[in-house]
Amino acid sequence: MTSSDNNTLESIPADQQGSFSSFLKTLASFTGDLSSLTCPSFLLAPISLLEYSSFWADQPGLLSAVGESDNAEERFYAAIKWFISSLNGSFSSRVPKGEWEKKPFNPILGEQFLCAWDDETRIVCEQVSHHPPVSGFYIENKKAGVIVNGHDGQKTRFSGTQMLVDQIGYCTLRLTERDETYLFTLPSVSVNGIWYAAPYVELYGTSFVQSTSGFSASIEYTTKGWISGEVHHFKASVTHESLSTPTVIEGQWTGKSTLTKNKKTTDFLDLTTLEKPKPIVKSVEEQGELESRRIWQKVSDALKAGDYATASSEKSSIENQQRALRKERETSETKWVPKYFNSVEGEAIYGNLREKIIAKADSKFIDTMGEGGWMYKEA
């Protein structure tokens, strides 16, 4: 242990300091998927990673507003608003004030997370693959004529003291009444502060948006000390054949942003004043056996109570059961299929939108977006 470890360890439960220092030692050589990263219990979040996909609907009001305008340009800006709000939900507002980032549970194969909002938005998430871990998600608001279909996995590596996470996957938004589709790719994530037992997340890199209406955007993510000097900064450059110069939308993906078109700047979005509507989730008693909170209930309760021994034995028992099921499938040569999603060629989901992005994107984009997809069965 070095002296710098000493002052960080103060905030760590006394009985876990040893496991924290050996955890740090494993990080340097870690590569691969998150499910193989074993964390000390005090760094575990009492929630399944699958639930994180529901933050795509963090602001269901912004989602159902995408199709409202009869003007394609306005709709495109509305789509960006929704996307930025879902980044805030996924990467920032999710973490309770004053708390650090923690590692959520690795979803088991076929795990489901279902929830709905008062405005009739509903979401279905399912763990569609275990190796590598992939979550499929589907959001719909029939009344508003909006459907979101996507999937997300993570490729993780360590660089110095940072954990770098490429999000593998993409999502599409379809306006059913207008026959208009948007393809969104996902930004990269870095987790900092792990060495001080104070992990927090930042976004970096570039993500792309392409609509069948011909509008497209590249969104760059930067943070303090880089270009803008502000944390959680994004800058989207929107182009279309009808625009003589790109429209620029920039600000914080956790807060305020502005839109500048033809040198005129107007307010775009203010996430600090938007209230988060409460998702409605069935009580654990009413949930099916494969639903997240039911599967993880015992582990989650134990973690919340600080009973790490029980948390870890309950977690092992779930993992052992999963190993047994996998073996059983291998022996009987049965192929597992998801309940809600079909594995399809990407084109079935995004048509030719990917090709349009490729013209502007770098090779990292090709790697992280991948080609196949998971389509909701009733869609």
Ligand X SMILES: CC(C)CCC[C@@H](C)[C@H]1CC[C@H]2[C@@H]3CC=C4C[C@@H](O)CC[C@]4(C)[C@H]3CC[C@]12C
Residues lying near ligand X in the complex (CB under 6 A) are found at: 34, 39, 43, 49, 52-53, 90-91, 101-103, 152, 154, 165, 167, 189, 191, 194, 199, 201
Q: CB-wise, 90 or 247, nearer to ligand X?
A: 90
State both tokens at 172. Answer: 């599409």
State both tokens at 5. Answer: 């470890």
Give the nearest distance from C-beta 256 to ligand X in angstroms: 22
Give the nearest distance from C-beta 53 to ligand X in angstroms: 5
Give the nearest distance from C-beta 139 to ligand X in angstroms: 12
**Going by C-beta distance under 8 Å and a sequence separation of 6 or more, which residues neighbour residue 269?**
81, 84, 85, 251, 256, 257
**Going by C-beta distance under 8 Å and a sequence separation of 6 or more, which residues neighbour residue 298?**
310, 314
Give the nearest distance from C-beta 137 to ligand X in angstroms: 8
State both tokens at 128. Answer: 């569609």
- From residue 240, give the alpha-carbon distance in Å to each of 72, 217, 245, 264: 11, 9, 9, 18
Q: CB-wise, 204 or 240, nearer to ligand X?
A: 204
User: Which residue in 246, 245, 225 sits closest to 235, CA to CA?
Assistant: 246
Give the nearest distance from C-beta 43 to ligand X in angstroms: 4
User: Which residue in 165, 183, 175 sits closest to 90, CA to CA?
Assistant: 165
Residue 211 has a CB neighbour count (10 Å cut-off) of 22
Q: CB-wise, 215 or 234, nearer to ligand X?
A: 234
DSSP 58: S
Q: CB-wise, 9 or 189, nearer to ligand X?
A: 189
Amino acid found at 311:
A
The torsion angles phi and psi of 110, rounded to 5 degrees, stand at 85, 0
Q: CB-wise, 90 or 252, nearer to ligand X?
A: 90
Q: CB-wise, 57 or 238, nearer to ligand X?
A: 57
Give the nearest distance from C-beta 26 to ligand X in angstroms: 10
Q: H or E segment at 151?
A: strand 146-159
